[in-house]
Amino acid sequence: MADFIPTDPNFRERVAASFDRQAFLATIGARMTVLEPGYCELTMSPRPDLCQQHGHVHAGATTTLADTAAGYAAYSLMPAGSAVLTTEFKVNLLNPARGDVLVARARVIKAGRTLTVVRSDVVGVTGATEKPVATMLATMMCLADSPDPA
């Protein structure tokens, strides 16, 4: 796995400020638990209002976690003054989304000037055991000189 050098030394503040502006992440209770250059981990706790008809977390909530982790893994490497957009992703659902917490771990595979490709894996953590829930492959786009609104 390549190590990445961030171009913006203040990437942590930039990412945190963007995260805090995403109301939907508060709605689903996502929190950022790790951020490194090219890597982001988000955690959420299953709740009844996030579930589908079989009592597991809805694939849409799981996908939101994976997509958001992927976006911030990519955004950590983008320059100051830029914005990040998801252009597309594909997700395979591997096992029912359950556990004490769900954790999405996203890692940049290829950081280009315009497009960044990210892999994002979601696991369900119960006690000391982890079970794969979903795996995502996503493409993120850098919009230069398009800072997030204040």
Q: Does position 16 bind a copy of itself by CB under 8 A?
A: no
Q: Does position 64 bind a copy of itself by CB under 8 A?
A: yes
* DSSP class per residue in 60-113: HHHHHHHHHHHHHHHHTTSPTT-EEEEEEEEEEE-S---SSEEEEEEEEEEE-S
Q: Does position 95 bind a copy of itself by CB under 8 A?
A: yes
Rounded-to-integer distance, Cα 96 and Cα 9, Å: 39
Shortest Cβ 26–a copy of itself spacing (Å)? 7
Report residue 66 as tokens. 């994976």
Rounded-to-integer distance, Cα 71 and Cα 138, Å: 8
Rounded-to-integer distance, Cα 123 and Cα 119, Å: 13
Single residue of 50, 69, 73, 123 touching a copy of itself by CB under 8 A? 50
Q: Does position 43 bind a copy of itself by CB under 8 A?
A: no
Report residue 97 as tokens. 């989304």
Single residue of 13, 16, 31, 60 touching a copy of itself by CB under 8 A? 60
Single residue of 93, 98, 101, 125 touching a copy of itself by CB under 8 A? 93
- Stated as kind and residue range, the H or E segment containing 120 is strand 115-126
Q: CB under 8 A: which stretch of 3-11, 35-43, 98-106, 131-139 binds a copy of itself?
A: 131-139
Interacting residue ranges for a copy of itself, rule: CB under 8 A:
18-19, 21-28, 48-55, 57-61, 63-65, 67-68, 83, 85-95, 109-110, 114-115, 117, 119, 132, 135, 137, 139, 141, 148-149
